[in-house]
């Protein structure tokens, strides 16, 4: 298919997700709870994880419609993590709009996130599959891993000895597991007995896709366009996040540059726009930006290689196209 056809097909899947998502939370009272939830779900987004669930179901021989409730559950889980992450990261913008805690307050954001997760499980339980117990186990594992990943992310802010290996393990939990679970669950919904062996291939695809996605996110925080990215550029630096760029630069930097990089700590009052520019320049000078780009491309190649065992189909080619689009994304 041409790029335009791929985009059109993606919009078709996304539209199906949007329609079902709009009906997934139709309660209005108490307004303190449900207005923020509707606000979160109306701010858009790529609905990437939900679409991956539908594509994985089709790629393994099933019907996408059979995985729609599971896809909604994945999307609600993802939005739960965003609402809570924004509170912990003191983020004022998400998708270019005020975050829930900025619009309301932290208590409302925490409660709204909790309710999103409850509705996620409600949607997942509507999935009709003889493998529903296995699907629930995968989903619950993804929730456990994403919380562990967030825990490590917060711990790393206060440590100055974090390694790249630890970082990669962290993003494998925080970002990668929800993405790989999206594909695993879709595959479990769609798989017949003869195609169960291909579920692991889709999980591997998701694991590599998750790494590529997060490292690209790290890059966009430094070299992206704020209007397109939808978040404050340099936010990871201000929050003292240990990112791929920071850790790669620390391995290569001169002693004076390492002193500056070590100043990337949570809410350091010295972290001004000028200092962000200086740290960005150190990333360039040490080759950390180039290394990050190479890692994104490498994991994208490994993701596409994982698809090799699957039979040719429109859904498989869509997955490969999506992986390439994520490498090029600006938001």
Look at residue 238 in the predicted model and tell me its pLDDT: 84
Look at residue 239 in the predicted model and tell me its pLDDT: 83
- CA dist 39 and 25 (Å) reads 11
Look at residue 264 in the predicted model and tell me its pLDDT: 85
The predicted-structure confidence for 64-103, as pLDDT tens digits, reads as follows: 999 999 999 999 999 999 999 999 888 888 887 899 999 9
Ramachandran angles phi, psi of 97, nearest 5°: -125, 160
Q: What is the CATH number of domain 3-328?
A: 1.10.600.10
Ramachandran angles phi, psi of 224, nearest 5°: -80, 175
Question: How many other CB atoms are there within 10 angstroms of residue 314's CB atom?
Answer: 14
- CA dist 176 and 182 (Å) reads 10
With a cut of 50, which residues of the chain have pLDDT below it? none
The predicted-structure confidence for 183-225, as pLDDT tens digits, reads as follows: 999 999 998 876 788 999 999 999 999 999 999 999 999 987 6
HSE, CB side, 13 Å, CA atoms: give it for residue 107: 1
Residue 21 buriedness (CB in 10 A; 0-12 / 13-18 / 19+): buried
Please provide the distance, in angstroms rounded to a whole number, between the alpha carbons at the two ends of the chain. 24
Identify the sign of the CA torsion 147, 241, 236, 109.
positive
Look at residue 3 in the predicted model and tell me its pLDDT: 87
Do residues 173 and 214 lie in contact, with contact meaning Cβ atoms separated by under 8 Å? no
Do residues 24 and 72 lie in contact, with contact meaning Cβ atoms separated by under 8 Å? yes
Look at residue 62 in the predicted model and tell me its pLDDT: 95
| CA dist list (Å): 28 to 36, 161, 170 | 10, 48, 37
- CA dist 259 and 250 (Å) reads 9
Which positions ≥6 away from 2 have C-beta within 8 Å?
A: none
Identify the sign of the CA torsion 278, 280, 283, 287.
negative
Do residues 43 and 95 lie in contact, with contact meaning Cβ atoms separated by under 8 Å? yes
Look at residue 228 in the predicted model and tell me its pLDDT: 60
């Amino acid at each position: 298919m041409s790029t335009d056809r791929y985009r059109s097909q993606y919009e078709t899947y996304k539209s199906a997700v949007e329609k079902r998502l709009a009906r997934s939370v139709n309660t209005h009272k108490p307004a303190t709870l449900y207005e923020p939830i509707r606000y979160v779900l109306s701010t858009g987004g790529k609905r990437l994880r939900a679409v991956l669930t539908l594509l994985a179901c089709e790629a393994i021989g099933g019907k996408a419609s059979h995985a729609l409730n599971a896809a909604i559950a994945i999307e609600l889980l993802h939005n739960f993590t965003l609402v809570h992450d924004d509170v912990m990261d003191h983020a004022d913008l998400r998708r270019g709009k005020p975050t829930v805690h900025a619009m309301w307050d932290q208590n409302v954001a925490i409660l709204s996130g909790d309710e999103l997760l409850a509705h996620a499980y409600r949607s997942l339980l509507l999935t009709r599959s003889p493998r529903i117990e296995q699907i629930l186990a995968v989903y619950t594992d993804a929730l456990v891993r994403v919380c562990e990943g967030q825990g490590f992310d917060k711990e790393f802010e206060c440590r100055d000895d974090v390694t790249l290996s630890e970082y990669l393990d962290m993003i494998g939990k925080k970002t990668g597991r929800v993405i790989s679970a999206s594909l695993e669950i879709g595959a479990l919904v769609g798989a017949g007995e003869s195609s169960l062996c291909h579920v692991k291939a889709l999980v591997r695809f998701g694991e590599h896709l998750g790494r590529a996605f997060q490292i690209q996110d790290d890059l966009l925080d430094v070299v992206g366009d704020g209007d397109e990215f939808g978040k404050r550029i340099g936010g990871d630096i201000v929050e003292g996040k240990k990112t791929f760029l920071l850790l790669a630069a620390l391995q290569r930097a001169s002693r004076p540059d390492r002193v500056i990089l070590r100043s990337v700590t949570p809410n350091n009052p010295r972290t001004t726009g000028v200092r962000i520019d200086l740290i960005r320049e150190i990333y360039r000078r040490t080759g950390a930006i180039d290394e990050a780009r190479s890692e994104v491309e490498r994991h994208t190649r490994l993701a596409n290689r994982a698809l090799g065992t699957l039979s040719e189909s429109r859904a498989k080619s869509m997955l490969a196209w999506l992986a390439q689009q994520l490498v090029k994304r600006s938001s």
